Structure 1
Amino acid sequence: MRRFGRTLVTAVLTVAVITGTAGWASADTQQAVTGPVPGTAAWLAEPGLRAGGGAGTGPGAVRGLPDPGRAAPREVARFFAALDPDEAQALVRRHPLVVGNLDGVPVALRYQANRIAILASGEARYLSLAGAGRQILAFDPRGRGQVAEVFGDLARAEHVAVIVPGSDNDASTHDRTRKPYSGPGGMAQALRASTGDATAVVAWTGYTTPVGVGLDAAQGRLAEAGAARLTRFLAGLDAVGAADPALFCHSYGSVVCGLAARNTDARDIVVLGSPGMRADNVAALHTRARVWAAKSPSDWIDDIPNVEFAGLGHGADPTSSAFGARRVPAADAEGHAGYFVPGTQSLAAFAAIATGAAR
Structure 2
Amino acid sequence: MRRYARTLVAVALATTAVSGTAGWVSGNTQQAVTGPPPGITAWRADRVLGRELPDPERESPAEVGRFFRGLSERDRNTLVVRHPLVVGNLDGVPAVLRYRANARALKAVHDPRYARLAGDPHRQILAFDPRGRGQVAEVFGDLDHARRVSVVVPGSDIDAGTFDRTADVYGTPAGMAKSLYARTGRGSAVIAWAGYTTPVGLGVDAATGSLAEAGADRLARFTDGLAADGVPAPAVFCHSYGSVVCGLAASRLRARDLVVLGSPGMRADDVGALHTRARVWAAKDPDDWIGRVPHVEIAGLGHGPDPASPEFGARRVPADDAHGHTGYFAPGTESLHAFARIAEGVRG
Give a deviation string over 1:180-216, Cα, whole Å, max 9, x none.
2221001000001111333200000000000111111
* Aligned residues of 1:210 and 1:217 also touching (Cα < 8 A): yes
* Aligned residues of 2:18 and 2:290 also touching (Cα < 8 A): no
Instruction: Find the aligned partners of 1:138 and 1:273 in 2 and give their Cα distance.
Output: 26
Code of the aligned partner of 1:83: L
Aligned to 2:345: 356
Instruction: Find the aligned partners of 2:269 and 2:249 in 1 and give their Cα distance.
Output: 15
In structure 1, runs of 5+ residues without a counterpart are: 51-62
* Aligned residues of 1:254 and 1:277 also touching (Cα < 8 A): yes
Aligned to 1:7: 6
Structure of higher RCO (CA pairs closer than 8 Å, 6+ residues apart): 2
* Aligned residues of 2:147 and 2:232 also touching (Cα < 8 A): yes
From the superposition, tell whether residues 23 and 128 of structure 1 become closer, same or farther in structure 2 (CA, over 3 Å).
closer
Instruction: Find the aligned partners of 2:13 and 2:72 in 1 and give their Cα distance.
Output: 56
From the superposition, tell whether residues 9 and 357 of structure 1 become closer, same or farther in structure 2 (CA, over 3 Å).
same
Instruction: Find the aligned partners of 2:11 and 2:172 in 1 and give their Cα distance.
Output: 31
Task: Report deviation, 1:25.
Answer: 2.8
Stretch of structure 1 that moved more, 177-186 or 330-339: 177-186
* Aligned residues of 2:14 and 2:202 also touching (Cα < 8 A): no
Instruction: Find the aligned partners of 2:65 and 2:12 in 1 and give their Cα distance.
Output: 49
Aligned to 1:347: 336
Task: Report deviation, 1:125.
Answer: 2.1
Instruction: Find the aligned partners of 1:213 and 1:358 in 2 and give their Cα distance.
Output: 37
From the superposition, tell whether residues 335 and 249 of structure 1 become closer, same or farther in structure 2 (CA, over 3 Å).
same
Code of the aligned partner of 1:40: I
Is residue 2:114 matched to residue 1:126?
A: yes
Aligned to 2:327: 338
Which of residues 58, 78, 83 in structure 1 aligns to 2:71? 83
Give a deviation string over 1:98-132, Cα, whole Å, max 9, x none.
00000011110000000000110111221321312
Stretch of structure 1 that moved more, 98-107 or 177-186: 177-186
Is residue 2:250 matched to residue 1:261?
A: yes
SS of aligned partner of 1:279 = coil
Give a deviation string over 1:157-193, Cα, whole Å, max 9, x none.
0000000000000011112212222210010000011
SS of aligned partner of 1:49 = coil
Aligned to 2:32: 32
Aligned to 2:60: 72
Stretch of structure 1 that moved more, 296-305 or 39-48: 39-48
Which of residues 82, 85, 105 in structure 1 aligns to 2:93? 105
Is residue 2:226 matched to residue 1:214?
A: no
Alignment of 1:168-179 (within 5 A): 168-179=157-168
Which of residues 190, 195, 202 in structure 1 aligns to 2:184? 195
Instruction: Find the aligned partners of 1:286 and 1:306 in 2 and give their Cα distance.
Output: 20
Code of the aligned partner of 2:142: D
Task: Report deviation, 1:264.
Answer: 1.2
Task: Report deviation, 1:19.
Answer: 9.1
Q: CA RMSD in A?
A: 1.8
SS of aligned partner of 2:312 = coil
From the superposition, tell whether residues 81 and 299 of structure 1 become closer, same or farther in structure 2 (CA, over 3 Å).
same
Aligned to 1:54: none
Task: Report deviation, 1:23.
Answer: 7.3
Aligned to 2:42: 42
* Aligned residues of 2:220 and 2:254 also touching (Cα < 8 A): no
* Aligned residues of 1:18 and 1:25 also touching (Cα < 8 A): no
Instruction: Find the aligned partners of 2:314 and 2:27 in 1 and give their Cα distance.
Output: 33
Code of the aligned partner of 2:27: A
In structure 2, runs of 5+ residues without a counterpart are: none
* Aligned residues of 2:135 and 2:194 also touching (Cα < 8 A): yes
Task: Report deviation, 1:16.
Answer: 4.8
SS of aligned partner of 1:150 = strand
SS of aligned partner of 2:86 = helix
Instruction: Find the aligned partners of 2:347 and 2:4 in 1 and give their Cα distance.
Output: 43
Instruction: Find the aligned partners of 2:279 and 2:69 in 1 and give their Cα distance.
Output: 33
When normalised by structure 2's length, the TM-score is 0.96
Code of the aligned partner of 1:41: T
Alignment of 1:305-316 (within 5 A): 305-316=294-305
Code of the aligned partner of 2:213: E
* Aligned residues of 2:137 and 2:191 also touching (Cα < 8 A): yes
